[in-house]
């Protein structure tokens, strides 16, 4: 299966979910135009409270549709944008990407994966049990965060559902994603 964009979403105010859009515009070094998380420095409220001068490594949030499908099968009412992602993908193992992987989306956009989204209690406020459903343990007992990846925008442009996604891996050795 070829990797592609299923949906694109944004929200101008800080909230849990984002509204699906016909297309979104990404701005290099800033994020999604018209989204509350746009900026060079952190915009997530918990991170702003810690240090508002931190670089924004969470400009664009990507979630794989396969996660949403799995959550729906468990009875959760989720669809693209519901858990706060800007880009919903299909056919790409987002969680298996290394830090620094670049995703070419559509004809012009390039984002660089910075790390994993850390599921938070807002998931449970939306629907009880959703946070636990986005967490798991591997065979060695390590915590596995399944709520998508965060990225920064290297090359801006418009993206829309149906756009292809190409993966460019950084040179080895690859560094496993950690939460950002």
Give the model confidence (pLDDT) of 101-127 as tens digits.
999 999 999 999 999 999 988 999 999
Rounded mean pLDDT of 148-176? Answer: 98
| pLDDT tens digits for range 121-141 | 899 999 999 999 999 999 999
User: Contact at 8 Å (CB) between 37 and 31?
Assistant: yes
pLDDT (mean) for 154-174:
98
Mean pLDDT of 145-166: 98
Task: Put the strands of the sheet holding 19-21 in their side by side order.
Answer: 19-21, 4-10, 87-90, 60-64, 149-155, 109-116, 102-105, 165-168
pLDDT in tens, 73-84: 999 999 999 999
Please tell me whether residue 126 adopts helix, strand or coil conformation: helix
| Number of Cβ atoms within 10 Å of the Cβ of 171 | 6
Give CA–CA dist 7/52, Å, rounded: 30
Helix (H, G, I), strand (E, B) or coil at 123: helix
- Whether pLDDT at 41 is above 90: yes
Q: What is the pLDDT of residue 1?
A: 65
Mean of the per-residue pLDDT values of the chain: 96
State the DSSP H helix or E strand holding residue 12, giving kind and residue range, or none if neither: none
Question: Cis ω on the peptide bond leading into residue 173 (within 30° of 0)?
Answer: yes
Kindly tell me if the per-residue pLDDT of 48 is higher than 70: yes
Matching CATH number, 4-168, of 3.40.50.300, 3.40.50.720, 1.20.140.10, 2.40.33.20: 2.40.33.20
Q: What is the pTM of this model?
A: 0.96
* Segment 14-31, tens digit of pLDDT: 988 999 999 999 999 999
């Amino acid at each position: 299966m070829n990797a592609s964009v299923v949906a694109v979403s944004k929200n101008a105010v800080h909230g849990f979910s984002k509204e699906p859009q016909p297309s979104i515009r990404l701005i290099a070094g800033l994020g999604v135009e018209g989204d509350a998380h746009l900026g060079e420095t952190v915009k997530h409220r918990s991170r702003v409270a810690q240090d508002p001068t931190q670089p924004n490594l969470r400009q664009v949030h990507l979630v794989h549709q396969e996660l949403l499908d799995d959550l729906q099968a468990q009875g959760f009412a989720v669809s693209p944008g519901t858990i706060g992602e800007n880009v919903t993908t299909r056919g790409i193992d987002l969680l298996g990407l290394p830090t620094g992987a670049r995703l070419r989306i559509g004809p012009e956009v390039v984002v660089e994966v910075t790390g994993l989204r850390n599921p938070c209690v807002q998931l449970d406020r939306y629907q009880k049990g959703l946070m636990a459903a986005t967490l798991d343990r591997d065979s060695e007992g390590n915590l596995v965060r399944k709520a998508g990846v965060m990225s920064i925008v290297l090359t801006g442009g418009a993206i829309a559902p149906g756009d292809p996604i190409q993966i460019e891996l950084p040179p080895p050795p690859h560094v496993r994603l950690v939460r950002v």
